[in-house]
Each structure stands twice: as C-alpha cells, then as structure tokens.
Structure 1
Amino acid sequence: MKFVPNIGEFFINLGSDRSNSGRNWQSRTKRNHNYSDLDQFVGRLPKQIVVYTDEPIRNENFDKVLLLKGQKYIEEDSMLRKIMQKEMTDHSRQIQAKLSNNKMKQDKSWRILESVDVRSLLITCSKAISVNNHPLAKELISEIRKYSSPHGDWSQRLAYYFVDGLEARLTGTSNEIYHKLVPQNLTVTEFLKVYHMYRVASPCRGTLVYFANQTILNNISKQTEKVHIINYGIMKGFQWPAFFEHFTTWEGFPPKIRMTIIEVPEPGLCPRRKVELIGRRMEDYAKSFNVPFEYEAIVSEWQNVEVEDLKIANDEVVIVTCLVHSEKLSDEAVHANSPRDIFLNNIRKIKPRIFIHVAFNGPNNSPYFPHRFRAALSLYSSFFEMLDSNLPRGNLERLIIEKHFLMPAAINAIAFEGPNRVERPETYRHWHARKLRAGLVPLPVDPKIKKDVINFVQEHYHKEFVVEDDNGWLLLGWKGRILYGFTTWKASEM
C-alpha cells in the first residue's frame, strides 16, 4: 500500500501569505562573443569551448551551493529550514486564530467556501472536455477560478494552474500557455537560487547527486587510469562540482575523467549555448581539484546517437548516467522501436560497467486523456503539498518552482496530444520492464548508499519523506507517493 497515492480530501484553505522571502544574489560575469553562426550546424563540440554568454562560469554562490565543503552547507540549509518552519508555524497560528473567531464560523459564505472540493471539480471538468460538453466545461472552469490562487495554499495553487491547462485544451491555446510557463529567460544564477531552495525543501536533488556520484566512485579504484562518463542530459551540470571535489581525499593521483554529454539542441540560433557554458564550468572545477578532465558534447536527440559516435576506447572504464529527463523521450506505442527502446538498446550496446538511471515516477503516459489527467492531478498534488509543508507561501523561489518547473510538464500532459506531448513520465516499474526487454540486468541497491540516504532524509527533512527499496530501486517519496526512483544496471552477457 505504500505505493498507492494518498491525496487527502483536497479541500480549500483560504489562508494565504504573500510575503517575499527571496534574496538577491550578486554574480560576476565574463564576456566572450567569439561565436560563429556556423557552429549551430555542427553536432560535436570542439575541444576548445567558445563562450558567448554574459552569465558567470563560477562564483562564490556556485561554490556554496554545489560543493560539499565538509558538509558545512548541510548545517546552513538546516538553519534555513528551521527559520522557514517557524515562519510557516506563525502563519498557521494566524489562520487558526481567524478560524476560531465565532463571527467567521457563523458566516454562511465562509462555510460554503471551506467545503468546496476542488479536486472533484477539476476531474468533472476534464470529463466534460473529453466528451466535448463545452458549456459544462466553461461553467466549471469559471467556478474553479473562484477557489484558485497562485499565492494560496497548495490546493488553491494547483487548481490555479490545472484550470489554465483545462481551459487551454478547451480553447486551443495550448502553445500560448505552455510557452509562458517554460523558463526561457531564467539565467543560470537565478536557476542556482531556485535549485538551492528546492534542495532545502526536498531531499530529491541531494539524494540524486549523492546516489550518482557515490555509485560512480564505487565503480572505480585507485588503479583506474581512465574513466569515460557518458551523460544523457546535463541538468545544468550541477552534479559534477561535488564529484570532482571527492578526489581531494583520493589515494594517489585521480584518474583521467573523460566526459561525453548528450544533450538535445536548444531552440533558436544557438543550439549549443547551454552545453558550452556547462563545459567551461566543469573544466574550471576539475582544474581547481587537480582532476585530469576532457569534455565533449554531442548535441542531438538521444535516440540518434550511435555507439560509434561516442569513440569509446578499450582502456576506459565506461559509466553511463541518465539523471531524470528520460521522460522527455517520446514513446509512441504504435512504433515497434520507440525512442525510449532505442535509447536503452544503445546503452546495452555500449556495455558500460554500470548504468545509473534516476526516473521521475509519474504514471502520466496514458493515451486516454481522463486517465492521464487524474494521474497528473495525483502526482502534482504530492509536489504542491510537499512544497506547502516545507516552504513559506510567499517564498519567491517556491513560486518559480511551481510555475516554471512543475507546471510546464503538467500542462503538457493536460493540454497536448500526440507528438506535441513531450512530457511522458511513467512509473519506475514500467522503466524496469523496458530495461529487461532491452537486455539490461538490474543490480541490487548498495546497502551503504541506502543507509546514508535514509539517515540524510530522516535527520534533515520533513518526517513525511520516505525512503524504501523495491527490486533494485531506491525509492524516494512523500506521504506514500513515490516521486523518484534511483537504480543501477549492467548489460546482460549475450
């Protein structure tokens, strides 16, 4: 039963707090505009990376958030959690004081509002849209908007964005609302602040970094001379500074790390912009920790990259990582070989020493809209409730997380169909079955990693976060809903 979602009654709480607890961080910038338009036609990056952005490569804020520094950052994050929990407790007491007011309790309109089940309204609206009952759908959308707000409690916030998705599906304005939510102009410094706040609120990112980095370190030794890490999806490269930092305690000389990044092209005239900047940042961190490092990037759809493109050498220890983002691979069931299956088959052909996969556990891949809507509502209810329990309602980074990182994926599942639906998360059990079919073999969860993760979560985070393991997967969840699955595999001997 621990894998069954537990949403609760999803009833409206009218209290809200619009205070802003965000902070402005300063950053240094470097300028280099030596960029050729012809570069956009080249898939593989040159050895000398050209930077053409005003964003910083590295500064003190990057070091504070991304490096371990003797675990000092954990203590600072814990202090920040206590401050925010006090702020939320004080706000909750204010709401309870209002609720205990006899006049408010006797107010008829208050009794009506506090009993509205927004979840039922959203589901009924989705059913009306699925059968083309537009008059009823419009009436329900108008009703839901009365009880939704981007600044309210978690259910009001979720309803605010979900009703936008329903209206976009109804009116055919899906592209317009989706592009408003995607964080196209968010700088890497702004993203760093959001990343930090999400790490304070949730153990998901910290667990991801520890699981991946420690698994890599467990699979190389002081006798290892060359390591080739093939990384599908770079995620701003925030994982790797702490990885290089581990070699400060390495016995002997660190191995030569060769990293090949496989990333989809960015839209616009500069499809390689992100990977160029990330490459410079990783080179800087590797150099500061005296780690021999070579970086290349292939800008292409994942399924189009062949084993020969990776130029794997016989004397390298090959490790493949895919940390989330696999849900962006399309999966049209009508095709015998979907991009997801091609991707996994290519990993089997690579024959890495270990394949590290972190999956976003979302059952949102149904082709039937009403089922997909209910699954998305259940999944994102957990995320919004988790943020509501760990971050103040007026926190600026929380607003950005909800609007620009959670909701684009949800809106894509709600308002789009066919090839336009680029977010297709599926459960870790579905991924498990896919990998078995592709000729991969699951490895057991490392007992020490599991123990460390459990201790980390229990010591520093909300009691409702849970860590379990199932059939080779280390699972991290909130109130019975599994949010992420962490797992390792190898190619079968065929």
Structure 2
Amino acid sequence: MENLYKFGEFNFSAVEDKLSSSNDIFWETKKLTEIKSVQFSVAENLGDFNGNESLCSNFGFFQDYPSHEDEFLLSTDQQKYQDYETFDNLQFDMVNFDEQLCPTKVLPLCDIENDRQFYQTPLAPVEILKNYGKGFKKLLLPDEGKILHPVNDFGLVTNNQNERKLSTADIMKVAGTRFIQSSSESASSGLILNHPFGFSFSGLSDGEKEDVSLAESLLACAEKVGYQQFERARFFLPQIESLSSKTGNPVKRVVHYFAEALRQRIDRETGRVSVKNMQKAESLFNPEEDTKDLNPTLLAFIEDLPFCKISMFTCVQALIENVKDAKKIHVIDLEIRKGLQWTILMQALQSRSECPLELLKITGIASGNIDTSKQIVEETGKRLKDFAKSLNVPFSFEIVVVSDLLHLREDHFKIDSEETIAVYSQYALRNKIQQSDQLETIMRVIRTINPIVMVVIEIEANHNSKSFVTRFIEALFYFSAFFDCIEDCMKGDEENRMILESKYFGHGIRNTVAEEGVERKSRNVKIDVWRAFFSRFGMVETKLSMMCLYQAELVAKRFACGNSCTFDINGECLVIGWKGTPINSVSVWKFI
C-alpha cells in the first residue's frame, strides 16, 4: 500500500505514444479475431424497446433487468423550457486516503517546455500508418443473437455483392495503403499482396478513386512537413486545395481543413506568417469557453449526432446503479455547462420506488473568469431547480467557482456525512492535460472527498504526441469519422453543419496540426493513458454493467444513423465509435 500512491514522473505524451498505438499492421485482418466478444443485449429479458418511437419518449433506466413495467416515461404535457425542451424530455428505459502516503509534489503531465517537435526518421510515416490498427477493428451488432462480433473492415467495403460505399475513414485507409505501397522499401517483401486493394483501384467507383488520390496527396504533403521539407510540401498544396472543398463530400471537406492546417504550419515554420499573428488569429475563438454555454450549433450537434447522448445516457445509468440505495445523492460535476444530463437523472430518480429520494444535490464546478463563469452556472442551476420542481424532485444546487483550479479545495464543497457522493466528468479532464498542475489538484481533491464512484466521458483519440506525423494521422482518421457522421446525420447545406465543421472542427484540426507548445491545446489521449494516470491516485476501473451497454445500444437505435455506431469493450470501459473508428470512451472508476 505504501508504494501504491507514490507518484512517479508522468508524461502524457510519452505514455500516449507508448500505449495508444496498435502493433497490428492494419491489413493483417487475422488478428481481428482476438477482440473480445461481448453480449450486448439480452433480448428475451429486456422487453421490446426496438420500435420507432422518438428519442424523447421511450427511454428508461434500470436497477435490474427490465420488463415493460420498468419503463420510466413522463407525460407529454410537462413544462417545456425554451431551447432545451428536447433535452428536458429525454427519458429512459431506465476508502479514505492517507495524505501522508501521497507526496504533495506536483508532477508535469504535459511538459510544454520540452514539447519540441519530434521529426521523423526515414520511413517513419509509413510505419505509423502500418501501426494504426486499433481504429480499424470494429464490433457490429447483428440483428440475431445480440452478440458483438469482430469483423474485417475491408471485407465489408470490398464485397461487390453488398455494393457497400466506402466511408470517409475507409477512403483514408485505402489512401494510406497505397501511400505505403509507393513509399515503403518493404514493397518487395510481398506484404502488399495480402492487401485486397493492391496497387490497383479495383472495385472503387470513379468518385472514390478521385477521393483516394486526393487523400494520398494529403498524406504525401504531411510526410514532407514531417521531414521539414517545407518547399516540397508546399508543392502539393495548390492541387489539394483546388480539388478539396468545404462544401463537397466528406472526404473533400476534411481534406480541405487539413490542407488549410498544413499551409498554416508551413507558413509558420518558414516565417511567412509570424507566430504572434497566428496566435492572435487563433485567440479570436476559444472552444473551451465557447462550449460552456449552448448555441444553436452545439444544440444541433447534441441533437443530431449520436455520441453525446449515448455517452450521457450510459453514464447516468452507471450513476443510477451505484447510488441505488442512497436517499441523499450528491453529484459533483467537474464541468457543468448546461447540465443536460441532470434532467435525465431527475426523471430516472423520480420513478424510483424502493428507495425514495430525500435529496438530489448537484455541485457544479467552474473556473476562469469568475463573473462570467458564475453567471453561466447560476443560469444552469436556476433551470435545473425549475425542472426539479416540476417533477417534485427534492433538489439543491451548489456552485464552486475558482479563477484557477489550483485554488480548488475540499472545503469548497458542502458535504453532508449522510450523502452518497459521485463525480461526473464529461470532457472536463482533456482540457487540463496541458495544465498538469491543475489536473493534479482536481484529482487530489476528488480523492480526498472519496466519492463512491466517478464516471468519465473522454475523447478516444491520440492528439498529444510530440511526433507531428503521428498526430496528423491520428487526427485525420478521427476527424474523417466525424465528417462522415455529419454527412449521414445532417443536411449538406445546413448552416449548423457549416459552422460545426469550419468553426469547431476546423479549429481543432488547425490546433492539432499547425500549433506547437503552449498554443497546442487540443491534447486528447486514449483510455490507456487515463488508466495509467488514474492508477496513481488509487483508482480502479469498474466493469460497465449489461444495463449500461444496453442503454448505449438503445440510444443509438433512436438515431436514423444509429446503425453506423459501433461499440467496443476496451478493458472495462465502453468505446463508442463511428463505423469502427473510436470517438468517445465511457469509463467508471472507484477509489481503493
């Protein structure tokens, strides 16, 4: 026990590069059979929730395996709340630490001073592409048997009888394969003969061939940037920019923004644009601050794309199960924003009969500008209080606002000894990877409070590597999946789609590709890295219940595009993906 909590040096970038890459060459599909199969639904015990009812009218949370009587449905004439009415009506199918053992020294999680560009040795980009395997493993949910099976991605897209269209990520895979074939000295080894596409474009439509060629050019440009051959990289850009478009198909759209980011990086590295001017331009939009409040584009993102709702519903189900015997429940939200998930929780708790609720307390944490942050959180609290009153749910709301999370302390929280405490973190930790001292402070305070459970939603991507090419390729596949999802779930000319892609995703791409050091704030890491970090605080991962998995499946089915959502079990957590590419992770943690 004495060694358990001794903190050694922890570097997010180093751990991410070590843990988050697969050793599988991505065309060696035999290894896919090693993925853990998961029973995802027990149809005979769960009742019929597979109809076509709307998302807002057929959900419930479960303490045990449900029957028809276990659906917790609200009447349709409940009070509605302006822009949030679709979210307010979301309904479901329903050890203390010894501080002396823990050194107080704050250790860096992301060493900005030493976060220098790691330039590639010859053929390194090829090896990175070959090792990008995890995102190509996919679990599908067949209609019969309700078992998640590993499948061969390329088998899905190359079967002419199925006439299956290549996804945006599939286009990138084919382009990556062709890039490897044309670049790698290992071509003579015969490895390429094992790949279903080989050197030809066999089986691809004319449009897909054009998209593959465009993506190949983008990869070639990125490779030159990785070698610091900026003028040679610049040679590719005019053609890439002329063939890509922010209003084209998903491939052309995502390539447009990555080409834009590459040009920005080249201009920065060659001095055509000063770092100061670039920073000034990027500072005009701060996504971390912007997403603290809701606007029509963010509302459309939550409403039209499945990932947020799937993650929220799954986490609330996990909370319900861990506080099922508690009469007083206190949830600490690390980044409350508008608290949409708490209207969901209230509706679930309202129908709990075995253990009547005496109090639900939500404490929202906010940091930054005290006046602005406090106003946003107060508005959230007022709305949640009104909603709780409409449901006759005993409710209280507390606010903890600090200018800097380094100032966060245990005595900021009003804690009753009779309360059962849980912690909820939705994309809250990723923003603090760069501020490692703040992240350490958050975790130490949480550890001291000793909640019964902590549920975490994070982005499942490696955007924190010191290697430019590694970041570029990881980001390319991640955003390709998102652009593909938007194509399926939103209209092509929809204003919110254009804003989402250009303002939010465009900023994320530029920040990941073009920026370095303190300016590079988009530093997502995968679940393996979070496991290594959480273990330092005596946290152990808890297996998600069958009901949590079922809840995820159930929410996905309520989206027209939900069949393209894929689910994988990584350790004990759930990875939510789009056509096999990981997007979010949902994990549950307890303190030992």
TM-score (normalizing by structure 1): 0.72
CA distance 1:67–1:293, shift in 2 (3 Å): same
Q: Secondary structure of the residue that 1:448 maps to in structure 2?
A: helix
Given that 1:262 and 1:302 are in contact with CA atoms closer than 8 Å, whether structure 2 keeps it comes out as no
Q: What is the CA-CA distance between 1:229 and the residue it aligns to?
A: 1.0
Aligned identity (percent) is 21
1:205 maps to: 308
Q: CA RMSD in A?
A: 3.3
1:124 maps to: 220
2:420 maps to: 317
1:104 maps to: none
Q: How does 1:394-413 map to 2 (within 5 A)?
A: 394-413=493-512
Q: How does 1:348-359 map to 2 (within 5 A)?
A: 348-359=447-458
Q: Which amino acid aligns with 1:243?
A: L
Q: Secondary structure of the residue that 1:463 maps to in structure 2?
A: helix
In structure 2, how many angstroms separate the alpha carbons of the residues matched to 1:186 and 1:213? 21
Equivalent residue for 1:140, pick from 226, 229, 236:
236
CA distance 1:303–1:403, shift in 2 (3 Å): farther
In structure 2, how many angstroms separate the alpha carbons of the residues matched to 1:264 and 1:466? 34
In structure 1, how many angstroms separate the alpha carbons of the residues matched to 2:343 and 2:358? 16
Q: What is the CA-CA distance between 1:491 and the residue it aligns to?
A: 0.6
Q: What is the CA-CA distance between 1:166 and the residue it aligns to?
A: 2.2
Say yes or no: does 1:228 pair with 2:327: no
Segments of 4+ in structure 1 off by > 6 A? 1-7, 110-113, 183-187
Given that 2:292 and 2:376 are in contact with CA atoms closer than 8 Å, whether structure 1 keeps it comes out as no
Q: Which amino acid aligns with 1:128?
A: K
CA distance 1:459–1:224, shift in 2 (3 Å): closer
Q: How does 1:44-443 map to 2 (within 5 A)?
A: 59-68=81-90, 114=210, 117-169=213-265, 170=267, 171=273, 172=275, 173-179=277-283, 182=286, 190-191=295-296, 194-196=298-300, 198-200=302-304, 202-221=305-324, 224-251=326-353, 253-266=356-369, 270-300=372-402, 301-331=404-434, 338-443=437-542
In structure 1, how many angstroms separate the alpha carbons of the residues matched to 2:362 and 2:316? 14
CA distance 1:197–1:119, shift in 2 (3 Å): same
Q: What is the CA-CA distance between 1:189 and the residue it aligns to?
A: 6.4
Given that 1:209 and 1:239 are in contact with CA atoms closer than 8 Å, whether structure 2 keeps it comes out as yes
In structure 2, how many angstroms separate the alpha carbons of the residues matched to 1:338 and 1:295? 28
Q: Which amino acid aligns with 1:480?
A: G
CA distance 1:235–1:119, shift in 2 (3 Å): farther
**Per-residue Cα deviation, 1:161-183 (whole angstroms, up to 9, x for no partner):** 22222233323453355345556
Q: How does 1:475-494 map to 2 (within 5 A)?
A: 475-492=575-592
**Per-residue Cα deviation, 1:109-145 (whole angstroms, up to 9, x for no partner):** x999936633333333334344543433433333321
CA distance 1:196–1:312, shift in 2 (3 Å): same
Q: Secondary structure of the residue that 1:487 maps to in structure 2?
A: strand
2:50 maps to: none
Q: Which amino acid aligns with 1:67?
A: N
Q: Which amino acid aligns with 1:466?
A: T
CA distance 1:130–1:407, shift in 2 (3 Å): same
Q: What is the CA-CA distance between 1:303 and the residue it aligns to?
A: 4.9
In structure 1, how many angstroms separate the alpha carbons of the residues matched to 2:208 and 2:462? 34
Given that 2:315 and 2:548 are in contact with CA atoms closer than 8 Å, whether structure 1 keeps it comes out as no
In structure 1, how many angstroms separate the alpha carbons of the residues matched to 2:256 and 2:391? 46
Identify the range of structure 1 (241-250 vs 111-120) with the bigger mean alpha-carbon deviation: 111-120
Q: What is the CA-CA distance between 1:61 and the residue it aligns to?
A: 4.1
CA distance 1:296–1:186, shift in 2 (3 Å): closer
**Per-residue Cα deviation, 1:446-480 (whole angstroms, up to 9, x for no partner):** 11121232244246444331122222101111122
Identify the range of structure 1 (408-417 vs 379-388) with the bigger mean alpha-carbon deviation: 408-417
Q: What is the CA-CA distance between 1:155 and the residue it aligns to?
A: 1.3
CA distance 1:454–1:69, shift in 2 (3 Å): closer
Q: What is the CA-CA distance between 1:188 and the residue it aligns to?
A: 5.6
Q: Which amino acid aligns with 2:89?
A: L
Q: Which amino acid aligns with 2:364?
A: I
Q: Provide structure 2 residue ranges, at least 5 long, that are not aligned to the other structure.
A: 1-19, 28-78, 94-164, 166-205, 268-272
Q: Which amino acid aligns with 1:406?
A: F
Q: Which amino acid aligns with 1:174?
A: M
Q: Which amino acid aligns with 2:303?
A: R
In structure 2, how many angstroms separate the alpha carbons of the residues matched to 1:288 and 1:5? 55
Q: What is the CA-CA distance between 1:293 and the residue it aligns to?
A: 2.1
In structure 2, how many angstroms separate the alpha carbons of the residues matched to 1:430 and 1:186? 25
The number of equivalent residue pairs is 398
CA distance 1:434–1:377, shift in 2 (3 Å): same
Given that 2:456 and 2:586 are in contact with CA atoms closer than 8 Å, whether structure 1 keeps it comes out as yes
**Per-residue Cα deviation, 1:172-228 (whole angstroms, up to 9, x for no partner):** 45335534555677996633x64345433x32122122122222222224x633222
Q: Secondary structure of the residue that 1:486 maps to in structure 2?
A: strand
Q: What is the CA-CA distance between 1:69 and the residue it aligns to?
A: 5.7
CA distance 1:277–1:408, shift in 2 (3 Å): farther
Given that 1:306 and 1:346 are in contact with CA atoms closer than 8 Å, whether structure 2 keeps it comes out as yes
Q: Secondary structure of the residue that 1:319 maps to in structure 2?
A: strand
Q: Secondary structure of the residue that 1:224 maps to in structure 2?
A: coil
In structure 2, how many angstroms separate the alpha carbons of the residues matched to 1:208 and 1:116? 32
Q: Which amino acid aligns with 1:475?
A: V
Given that 1:166 and 1:415 are in contact with CA atoms closer than 8 Å, whether structure 2 keeps it comes out as yes
In structure 2, how many angstroms separate the alpha carbons of the residues matched to 1:69 and 1:373? 39
Q: Which amino acid aligns with 2:229?
A: N
In structure 2, how many angstroms separate the alpha carbons of the residues matched to 1:111 and 1:349? 57
Given that 1:258 and 1:293 are in contact with CA atoms closer than 8 Å, whether structure 2 keeps it comes out as yes
**Per-residue Cα deviation, 1:298-332 (whole angstroms, up to 9, x for no partner):** 22344542223224332211101101232111347
In structure 2, how many angstroms separate the alpha carbons of the residues matched to 1:231 and 1:457? 24
2:14 maps to: none
Identify the range of structure 1 (413-422 vs 172-181) with the bigger mean alpha-carbon deviation: 172-181
**Per-residue Cα deviation, 1:401-425 (whole angstroms, up to 9, x for no partner):** 2223323222221222112222210
CA distance 1:185–1:477, shift in 2 (3 Å): closer
Q: Secondary structure of the residue that 1:484 maps to in structure 2?
A: strand
Q: Which amino acid aligns with 1:144?
A: I
CA distance 1:142–1:112, shift in 2 (3 Å): farther
